[in-house]
């Protein structure tokens, strides 16, 4: 199975600063992902021609399930996170992870019924300060909704804004999560035209195997957004008894 995490910058290119959502669509169609986890997706905003980007992308990618989370409101619209899936959601939640008076942020939790079994996917966009990011990570990992799904294989993906790559040792490792996007010099994704920082990350836990993880650096991806897309190919290893127990629960 394939997952893509991508900060699409509202469809505005990082180099030419032009709004062209079709470039984002073309990148994503080429990658042929089963799960698409996006950040900075606009809805009804002037800068993006008042487009309903969640609906447009869901239609263009022929998603069978979608979940949008508007985090930063602006008049009658705003921007936020979007998850698209080839398979239906068993569970879906949008969590607020705003820290104090800082910019609103959100995390999306879904359980996807895949042919290999259920998988728990979290899509989020963390804050700009290290203290804020540590609080947001602890808030998610200790949240009742997240803990209810702890027995499932889990992927946490998105724009972590973790420039110094410290969240692993300060938060994730104590919860048995492994960083997929390591060593970080192989996963530099920002800025797209000359990537120097590994802001887009993936952490995994549970019965799943990572077959491949990479940042896409082709010409179109470098022009479509200010971030490069991150691709993860993986498989689940679930005991039949565990899947049956979850399905009957």
Give Cα separations from 197 to 61, 123, 187, 189 (angstroms).
28, 19, 8, 6
Stretch 161-171: mean pLDDT = 96
Stretch 89-110: mean pLDDT = 97
The parent domain of residue 91 ranges over 2-248
Three-class SS of residue 71? strand
Q: Say whether pLDDT at 173 is over 70.
A: yes
Question: What CATH code is carried by the domain that includes residue 122?
Answer: 3.60.10.10
Stretch 9-37: mean pLDDT = 96
pLDDT digits (tens, 9 = 90+) for 192-212: 999 999 999 999 999 999 999
Query: Average model confidence (pLDDT) for the chain?
Result: 94
Stretch 208-222: mean pLDDT = 97
* CA 99 to centroid of chain Cα atoms: 19
Range in 83-97, 154-168, 232-246 with the lowest mean pLDDT: 232-246
Q: Residue 240: how many CB atoms within 10 A of its CB?
A: 8
- Rounded to whole angstroms, the Cα distance separating 77 from 92 reads 22
Stretch 127-139: mean pLDDT = 98
Stretch 4-31: mean pLDDT = 96
Q: Say whether pLDDT at 246 is over 70.
A: no
> Token pair for residue 245?
């127990």
Provide the number of structural domains found in the chain. Answer: 1
What confidence tier does 238 reach under pLDDT thresholds 50, 70, 90? low
pTM, to two decimals: 0.94
Of 29, 35, 22, 13, residue with least CA distance to 153 = 35
User: 164-180 b/e with 16+ CB inside 10 Å = b?
Assistant: ebebbeebbeebebebb
> Token pair for residue 215?
């940042």
* pLDDT of the residue at 247: 40
At 3, which helix (H) or strand (E)? strand 2-7
Contact assessment for residue 36 and residue 28, using Cβ atoms and an 8 Å cutoff: yes
* pLDDT of the residue at 14: 86
Share of the chain above pLDDT 70, in %: 95
């Amino acid at each position: 199975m394939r997952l893509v995490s991508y900060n699409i910058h509202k469809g505005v290119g990082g180099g030419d600063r032009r709004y062209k959502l079709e470039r984002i669509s073309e990148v994503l169609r080429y990658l042929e992902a089963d799960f698409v986890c996006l950040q900075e997706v606009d809805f009804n905003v002037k800068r993006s021609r008042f487009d309903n980007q969640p609906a447009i992308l869901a239609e263009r990618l022929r998603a069978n399930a979608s979940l949008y989370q508007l985090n930063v409101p602006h008049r009658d619209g705003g921007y936020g996170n979007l998850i698209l899936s080839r398979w239906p959601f068993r569970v879906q939640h949008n969590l607020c992870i705003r820290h104090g008076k800082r910019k609103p942020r959100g995390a999306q939790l879904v359980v996807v019924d895949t042919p290999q079994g259920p998988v728990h996917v979290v899509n989020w966009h963390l804050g700009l300060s290290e203290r804020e990011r540590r609080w947001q990570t602890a808030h998610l990992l200790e949240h009742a909704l997240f803990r209810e799904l702890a027995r499932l294989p889990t992927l946490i993906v998105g724009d972590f804004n973790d420039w110094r790559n410290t969240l692993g040792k300060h938060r994730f490792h104590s919860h048995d999560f492994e960083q997929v996007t390591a060593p970080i010099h192989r996963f530099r994704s920002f800025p797209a035209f000359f990537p120097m920082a590994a802001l887009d990350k993936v952490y995994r836990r549970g019965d799943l195997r990572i077959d491949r993880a990479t940042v896409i650096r082709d010409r179109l991806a470098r022009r479509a957004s200010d971030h490069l897309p991150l691709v993860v190919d993986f498989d689940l290893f679930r005991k039949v008894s565990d899947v049956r127990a979850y399905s009957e629960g």
